[in-house]
Amino acid sequence: MRMNSNHYHTSVLLHTSVDGLEIKPNGVYVDVTFGGGGHSREILKQLGPNGKLVAFDRDKDAHQNSIADQRFTLMHSNYRFLKNYVMLSGVSEVDGILADLGVSSYQFDTAERGFSIRFESELDMRMDQTQKLTAKEVINEYPEQQLTQLFRLYGEIDNAPRVARLIATERKKQTIDTTEQLKLILQPMVYKPREQKFFAQVFQALRIEVNGELDSLKEFLNQSLEILKPGGRLVIISYHSLEDRLVKNFIRSGKFSGEAEKDFYGNSLSPFKLITRKAIVPNEEEIEVNNRARSAKLRIAEKI
């Protein structure tokens, strides 16, 4: 049964991000995070009959929103395989790439997927449900030191060692199966005014680990540079500081850390020209309509 794509996900910064691509009617574009298809549909509106759009989504549920259009191809794949799958579709270079890195509203609101702190569910958090690694496996099988590292790095939790210790102690008594079990175990860590933020950080860390999100993002960014034509646009919406830092550094320097290399005359050797010097954020009106837009940051760059 086809779901209503508007209920699946409300696209953030829809027109601003698509406008950032500066679409050419006969161009070739990639939407690496198809989701509910909002960005893809807007891109198709601006493409002519000879234009082409390739989209990616690793979540099979998103493929129920696919678009019946001869200019459109939807790939069931992680965007870390961007280059290979774009070439498989018969394209070697593209005019623009768009990525909306957030978890979809559908994924958050479907209790059994385990992404949300609001519901009791199995500890899952897989974006691609064909993969084996789940949050349950991470919680129950990772060594305590490894848990400490992922909560510190991916959740940016100050007292990550204590989080890991509480989990390691409890799992000796019984398997930790559900989100509610995990929250109950970590209650001693909770400072009530920051309870929601704390659990959001815990869940973020697990989700990033389960889905390999930051490694995928790095591979995607490197490959985007390979397949973008000179003058092609890279448009990325991120939702937390770890993602945004990688994106910002990459478009400023072509690397994930450090400053751009400079030539003899002191000119930057970055492979991109920044179209947005600072991140674009949603206005109050959009946030009021779609609260999940509140943390979004949009950055746009053009390949030199």
Domain boundaries, the chain: 5-105+213-303, 113-210
- Cα→Cα distances 148→143, 168, 170, Å: 9, 10, 15
Q: How far is 6 from 76, CA to CA, in rounded Å? A: 20
Domain at 5-105+213-303: CATH code? 3.40.50.150
DSSP conformation letters of 187-249: GGG--GGGHHHHHHHHHHHHHHHHHTHHHHHHHHHHHHHHHEEEEEEEEEEE-SHHHHHHHHH
The strand pairing partners of 55, in sequence order, are 31, 74
**Average pLDDT score over residue span 243-262:** 90
| pLDDT class of 2 with cuts at 50, 70, 90 | very low
**Average pLDDT score over residue span 67-91:** 96
**What sign has the CA pseudo-torsion 18, 20, 26, 31?**
negative
**Average pLDDT score over residue span 150-171:** 97
Report helix angle 195-211 to 144-153, nearest 10.
110
- 13 torsion bin: left (phi>0), alpha (psi -120 to 50), beta (else): left
Q: What is the pLDDT of residue 117?
A: 82
Task: Tell me: pLDDT of 217 over 90.
Answer: yes
- Tokens 């290399």 sit on residue: 261
Q: What is residue 46's three-state secondary structure?
A: helix
- Cα→Cα distances 70→53, 73, 85, 120, 246, Å: 9, 8, 17, 41, 35
Q: What is the pLDDT of residue 8?
A: 62
Q: How far is 233 from 160, CA to CA, in rounded Å? A: 38
| pLDDT class of 114 with cuts at 50, 70, 90 | confident
Task: Tell me: pLDDT of 6 over 60.
Answer: no
Q: What is the pLDDT of residue 250?
A: 97
Q: How far is 242 from 43, CA to CA, in rounded Å? A: 28
For the segment 21-44, what is each residue's pLDDT rounded down to a tens digit? 999 999 999 999 999 999 999 999
Task: Tell me: pLDDT of 3 over 90.
Answer: no
- Tokens 């102690």 sit on residue: 169
Task: Tell me: pLDDT of 223 over 80.
Answer: yes
What DSSP character marks residue 158?
A: T
- Please list, in sequence order, all residues whose beta carbon lies within 8 angstroms of the beta carbon of residue 288, skipping any fewer than 6 positions away: none
| 102-116, 131-145, 175-189, 252-266, range with the lowest pLDDT | 102-116
Q: How far is 10 from 244, CA to CA, in rounded Å? A: 20
**Average pLDDT score over residue span 213-239:** 98
- Cα→Cα distances 278→244, 261, 275, 297, 299, Å: 11, 21, 9, 9, 7
| pLDDT class of 9 with cuts at 50, 70, 90 | low
**Average pLDDT score over residue span 186-204:** 93
Q: What is the pLDDT of residue 1?
A: 36
Q: In the chain, what percentage of residues exceed pLDDT 70? A: 95
Contact of 15 with 43, CB cutoff 8 Å: no
- Tokens 């390691």 sit on residue: 168
| Summary mean pLDDT of the chain | 92
**Average pLDDT score over residue span 268-285:** 94
Of residues 285 and 118, the one with the higher pLDDT is 285
| pLDDT class of 265 with cuts at 50, 70, 90 | confident
Contact of 122 with 180, CB cutoff 8 Å: no
Q: 113-210 adopts what CATH topology?
A: DNA polymerase; domain 1 (1.10.150)
| pLDDT class of 7 with cuts at 50, 70, 90 | low
